[in-house]
A and B are shown apart, each in its own frame.
Chain A
């Protein structure tokens, strides 16, 4: 039954030792081909959830499946199906952008496939001749798009993106959003992303999960959430739901 979902999470708990609760009984599902947005206040458990799904950390208890594969039992198989953009993705300072792209993609592809992926990533990175310069001299946004380029060009079944556009200017944010949408629509990549930008979530996501203190307190399509809370936009939804939850 779990393999009907791209992501199946049930009662997921992560305690970081000494009673530091990361998430506290989280449940949600993502259908294949969907773009799903995880929104919630700072420290609500978004990164924790994404890290568990990306097999970087292990849950304390609960279930997590990606395309029917248990995240805790077979991490290597999971990593073959996913790619993950960490919250603060950077790159090796001593490499050039090109070397970094080659290095990361060579961990997944070989031969002709690798060359194609490299070309694709170079194009996404949009660095021009700077791709041959050391990363040391890149700006924050340039590094972020570089990391995003290898993650996208790997075309995984599931893309996990932790705040993909933070630190990017308006134009670059738009560029990245369009790319995410393109990869979802053209290549059928399922996307799970977290974001603080409600505009972005409204633009990209079919469904949204509101996370608060480690639990999903509201879930549904954006239209559903708007009607339920009688709001004009997602920002209003966010404020209303979090206010309600804090009482």
Chain B
């Protein structure tokens, strides 16, 4: 009997907790929205793959080579364009494949078994569509394979199995002004993503920590005594802010060290088998090389700026709560908002332009990743714009936090009164 009463009380407690209800609603909305977004993004990626044009630099002036290309062009729906200049072609088509001088010779020779093309893919950001672009090369090479087999059968009456050649692509990825091997690109994409995702998570969790610390302080009942001491409220806000930044940097550092240890552990277990997949550890090195010292400094600055931003936000929310239950109500939407922003841009990618810079600065979580993109493509003015926007928003939030600390609400806490929630009139 007693069990039933206890059970009922517990159930009532969480059903009546606004944080619990809010969490359920947000979960559904958030993951539903994320699913929608993901399917939209993959559709876009497929569409892009199906419509992407390809620039060809034909060094083999042989008729057979031309014939193969014409055949492949038909199969691919007229998406192959011959070009002469590499950099123009990259700007125009994003994918350029060089057909080597000895292409047909190798095709017909019975001494060569592997034919490889040098190709270059230009990528402006890590995203789903970026990986789609590299997949197009695969499609192209398969098409060429089909093309030469069919032509050889119809023209020379030869059995193509006698000429069983393996066509491969030796791909270079161009990001901004940097050139990477495909292996490097893949490791950087995955390591970089997890790394930047951790930064985004740390920035978001920082807000939650700040709210919870304030809630605990209020529950401990030392807060009113503190507020009556002869110190400006500004000092209290700044103290809390700097403390939360330091705590989160330590936490973020632990995450990143953990990640590096994990990658290190993996590399010793799985020896690299093919040249196209480089070892994860060299991926870390490549990543550091690619980003450079400046990049690392800029990322550290972004992280600190991000932590000050969310710390201030957390303090604002924390000043409104009176206990941990209310803290939960406040934190849930903020965490989901930041996580949502982070996921969205990882899926969709971030265009490099002024408006995105302002947006990224104002919403802060994606600042580190965006700064890396901008740095790699040499858009230094966009870095400035993003930092400027982030700094203005951060300073505004700190000002708001100090302002709220001088209001009654920091002592009394926000109340959700039933009457006001349901509406009396």
A residues within 8 Å of B by Cβ?
16, 18, 51, 54-58, 75-76, 79-80, 82-86, 88-93, 100, 104, 107-108, 147, 150-151
Contact = CB atoms under 8 A, between A and B. Distances in A.
Contact of A56 (B217, B227, B231, B232): B227
A112 to B, nearest CB: 19
A76 B232 CA distance: 7
Given A57-B412, A89-B221, A91-B220, A80 B228 contact: no
Contacts of A86: 221, 224-225, 228
Given A89-B224, A150-B225, 11 more contacts: A18-B420, A56-B227, A57-B411, A76-B232, A79-B228, A84-B224, A85-B225, A90-B221, A91-B221, A92-B217, A104-B229
Contact of B220 (A54, A93, A108): A93
Contacts of B232: 76
12 contacts: A54-B228, A56-B224, A56-B227, A75-B406, A79-B228, A79-B230, A83-B229, A84-B228, A88-B221, A89-B221, A89-B224, A90-B222
A82 B225 CA distance: 11
A16 B417 CA distance: 12
B297 to A, nearest CB: 35
Interface string B389-425: 0000000000000000011100110000101100000
Contacts of A104: 225-226, 229
B422 to A, nearest CB: 13
A89 B419 CA distance: 31
B225 A84 contact: yes
A7 to B, nearest CB: 15
Contacts of A89: 221-222, 224-225
A18 B417 contact: yes
Interface in B338-381: none
A108 B225 CA distance: 13
Contact of B230 (A90, A93, A100, A108): A108
Contacts of A91: 220-222
A58 B410 CA distance: 12
Contacts of A85: 225
A107 to B, nearest CB: 4
Contacts of B221: 86, 88-91
A227 to B, nearest CB: 37
A147 B408 contact: no
Nearest to A59: B408
B231 A107 contact: yes
A85 B333 CA distance: 36
A157 to B, nearest CB: 12
Interface string B146-174: 00000000000000000000000000000
A88 B225 CA distance: 10
A58 B224 contact: no
